[in-house]
Amino acid sequence: MSGRRTVEEQLVRVLEAVQVLEAETRAIRDAAGRTLADPATAAHDIPLFDNSAMDGFAVRAVDVAGASEEHPVTLRVVADLPAGVATDPALGQGEAARIMTGSPTPTDADVIVPFEDTAGGLADSLGEVRVLRAPAKPGVFVRRRGADLHAGDEVVLAGERLGAFQVAAAVAAGIAEVTVTRAPRVAVVSTGSELLAPGESPERGRIPDSNGPLLEQLVADADAEVVLVARVTDDADAVRIVTAEAVALGADVIVFTGGVSAGAYEPVRGAFDGGGEVEFSSVAMQPGKPQAFGVLASGALVFGLPGNPVSVAVSFEVFVRPALLAMQGRTGIHRAIASFTADAAWTTPPGRRQYLPAIVDLAARTVRPATAGGSGSHLAGCLARAHAFAIVPAEVEAVAVGDEIDVMLVG
């Protein structure tokens, strides 16, 4: 293509090709990390019944309204209510029930007096109790039925991820099953005759394949399933063979690293260029300028990312991750972006949006490069220190100390 495509234009091209995956019903405890296709509605109220928020005594507010240290009110303890009991003892005038946190409050009680507001506390809590401080008002320390939500309320909305908090809320609301989208199946393929398997002894001209492990983790973090991890040499036929293998495994997405630029040995370009399925583009960003994207006859999305590790990380965050989340029907598909103040100066590429591996100080709201070497896409070591990308617009020529910078938080 002539000219460079903007990041937004490339992302639109990607997202227009995304199809939301089919839904399936799963037990709530087996659905963690999935995205809801339909809202999860409460089967019952939360709380299920009026219950005590404190360890103490369930009483009638009228009986203790005048209690003070100078004029304590003595009540007769007629019941003991540990958590888990279903009894509902009657309370007459001047009577109380000892009660523990979470236990159902008696129908006749309308306030809880904590042990701390009595003369004997827990040590002298059966038989009689002397109340030293009157509750501020009726209802104090009573958790009312349905105060959190009611049966039929939407607990988790469609398009939301079932994280730990959402699973806990759904279980508390009596939800046993949910309808969620299937996890995308992803094949990860590193290209390059120079690549060594992790752990192999390095040698001149050969380097470890860090892109494969990087993408495995990034894919998993996007709640997708890795179905294939492979390395191939700089050979177009090898790319065609591994593509067929990925399709046979049911891959929804195939992510290649390397082999998409304009060099003499570009196997991804050699395998797909001119076939009409995959488009090779130049995107106005640094790193990550060469990009490939397309849709195979099987329906699988193909991403061709540059081969340098920082380029892979940036390209995944900008293009692949949003696509994987969109395939799951996720409401929010983009990382959070916040404004930070630069506490170091750095250079930027002319005419390209910069994504710089960065270190942020959340307390001071400052950002600085993760490496003194700039944004070099080969500087894989800096990724260990980076937990953000500083995003600098294409029209900005340089960043100075004190400049306000948009930052994508990734870790």
DSSP string, 157-170: -TT-B--HHHHHHH
Residue 1 in domain:
no
Measured distance CA(130)–CA(282) in Å, rounded: 80
Residues 200, 96 within the same domain: no
Please identify, among 308, 328, 348, the residue that sits at the C-terminal boundary of a domain. Answer: 328
CA neighbor of 187 nearest in space, from 270, 271, 252: 252
Do 113 and 55 lie in a common domain? Answer: yes
Same-domain check for residues 234 and 210? yes
Instruction: Report the sign of the C-alpha dihedral through residues 159, 162, 166, 169, in that order.
Output: positive
For the entire predicted model, the pTM comes to 0.90
* Residue in the block written with tokens 């490939």: 292
* Residue pair 51/102 in contact by the 8 Å Cβ criterion: yes
Kindly report the length of the chain: 411
Using CA atoms, how far apart are residues 73 and 94, in angstroms rounded to an integer?
Answer: 9
What residues in the chain have per-residue pLDDT under 70? 1-2, 264, 372-380
The Cα 380–Cα 287 span in angstroms is 12
Condensed to tens digits (0 to 9), the pLDDT of residues 170-196 reads 999 999 999 999 999 999 999 999 899
pLDDT at position 201: 87
Note the helical H segments in 36-182: 61-64, 164-172
Helices (H), 278-318: 309-315
Are 177 and 190 members of one domain?
no
> Are residues 230 and 360 located together in one domain of the fold?
no
First to last CA, the chain: 35
**309, HSE (Cβ side, Cα atoms, 13 Å):** 18
Q: Which of 312, 296, 314, 232 lies closest to 268 in space, CA to CA?
A: 232
CA angle 189, 259, 305 (to 5 degrees): 65
400 φ, ψ (degrees, to nearest 5): -110, 155
Determine the structural domain holding residue 172 and report its residue range. 24-44+151-181
Q: Each residue of 75-106: b (16+ CB within 10 Å) or e? A: bebbbebeeeeeebbebeeebbbbbbbebbbb
Q: Based on the domain organization, do 129 and 170 belong to the same domain?
A: no
CATH number for the domain spanning 61: value is 2.170.190.11
Do the bridges between strand 73-81 and strand 128-131 make them parallel or antiparallel, or are there none, so unpaired? antiparallel
Judge contact between 391 and 353, C-beta under 8 A: yes
| Residue 2, pLDDT score | 44
If asked whether residues 274 and 323 sit together in one domain, one would say yes
pLDDT score, position 1: 40
Query: Burial code of 294-321, b = ≥16 C-beta within 10 A, e = fewer?
Result: bebeeebbbbbbbbbbbbbbbbbbbbbb
Is residue 356 situated within a structural domain? yes
Q: Considering the domain boundaries, does residue 2 fall inside one?
A: no
Q: What angle do CA 4, 5, 11 make, to 5 degrees?
A: 155
Place of tokens 């469609």: 158
CATH of the domain at 28: 3.90.105.10
Assess whether 139 and 232 both reside in one domain. Answer: no
* Model pLDDT, residue 198: 85
- Say if residue 192 is in the same domain as residue 96: no
Domain shared by 347 and 255, yes or no: no
Q: What letter would DSSP give residue 218?
A: H
For residue 258, which of 271, 247, 248 has the smallest C-alpha distance?
A: 271
pLDDT in tens, 32-69: 999 999 999 999 999 999 999 999 999 999 999 999 99
Contact 106, 90 (CB under 8 A): yes
How far apart CA 44 and CA 157 sit, in angstroms, is 17
Rounded to whole angstroms, what are the CA distances from 330 to 168, 222, 322, 327, 342?
A: 19, 11, 9, 8, 32
CA distance 83 to 95: 20
Residue for token pair 């219950």? 51
352 domain-assigned: yes
Asked if the structure places residue 383 within a domain, the reply is: yes
Q: Which of 321, 323, 320 is nearest to 305 (CA)?
A: 320
Cα–Cα nearest to 306, from 377, 235, 210, 216: 377
pLDDT value of position 168: 97
Q: Are residues 265 and 319 in the same domain?
A: yes
My answer on whether 190 and 275 are in the same domain is yes
